Amino acid sequence: MRPLLASSACFALGLAAAAPARAADAPAPSSTAPAPPRRTDAVQLDLGLAVVGLAYERLFDPRVALQVEAQIFGTWFGPLVDLPNLRGFGGQVRPTVFLTDDGPRGVYVAPFVRIDRVTAEEDGRSGHGVGFSTGAFVGYSFLLAERLNLRVGAGPQYMSYVVDVGRRRVAFQTMFPALDLVVGYVF
């Protein structure tokens, strides 16, 4: 009888010890509304220094997103620094890592690659070429009313665009500041 009593007492103590742990693991009844669903998609307007683009972004992880963008490209600022004014269109791929919060908010780092078909004009002649820009932004992403996303950032970029115009080669190949201004709708 004693082994049965001892084993029953151990079983009862085990249940008593496990009950608080199970209660702590169980979700507490909530008197507040459930959390809003996590939104993972966004349509964005990119208003950077050299681009105006329309983009789609998807969060693949709470802190990692990937953006694909079609854009109008221009180096309107080139003549201000003795570089050519090129214009064209192209695309961009941009992963973003949110460092301080779940995306799309908080401090972010966003490397990017752009490929653009550009046109240059000189002395009444024009030429076309394909070039690229690559760099990275560091900035802050605001999420307003859980839907409106505003990102502001800056960083370095390398721009490499070469166009043959007649017998002359027009080139924009240099490091240049990159400014990031993105307005998006998160859904």
Determine contact, residues 78/86, Cβ cutoff 8 Å: yes
The pTM (predicted TM-score) of the whole model is 0.79
Q: Residue 34 has what pLDDT?
A: 73
Higher pLDDT, residue 95 or 19: 95
Return d(Cα 146, Cα 135) in angstroms, integer.
29
Residue with tokens 């208003």: 47
As a whole number of Å, the end-to-end CA separation of the chain is 66
Residue 81 has pLDDT above 60, yes or no: yes
Return d(Cα 152, Cα 108) in angstroms, integer.
10
pLDDT tens for each residue of 33-63: 776 677 899 999 999 999 999 999 999 999 9
Higher pLDDT, residue 88 or 14: 88
Buried (b) or exposed (e) across 123-162, using 16+ Cβ within 10 A? Answer: eeeebebebebbbbbebebebeeeeebebebbbebebebb
Work out the angle at residue 183's Cα, subtended by the Cα atoms of residues 131 and 89, and round it to the nearest 5 degrees: 20
CA neighbor of 160 nearest in space, from 128, 119, 126, 130: 130
Question: How many Cα atoms occupy the beta-carbon half-sphere of 182 within 13 Å?
Answer: 34
The 3-state DSSP class for residue 108 equals strand
pLDDT tens for each residue of 100-121: 999 999 999 999 999 999 999 9
Higher pLDDT, residue 35 or 170: 170
Helix boundaries (H) for the chain = 2-25
Q: Residue 123 has what pLDDT?
A: 86
Residue 25 has pLDDT above 70, yes or no: no
List, in order of start, the domains of the chain with CATH numbers: 41-186 (2.40.160.20)
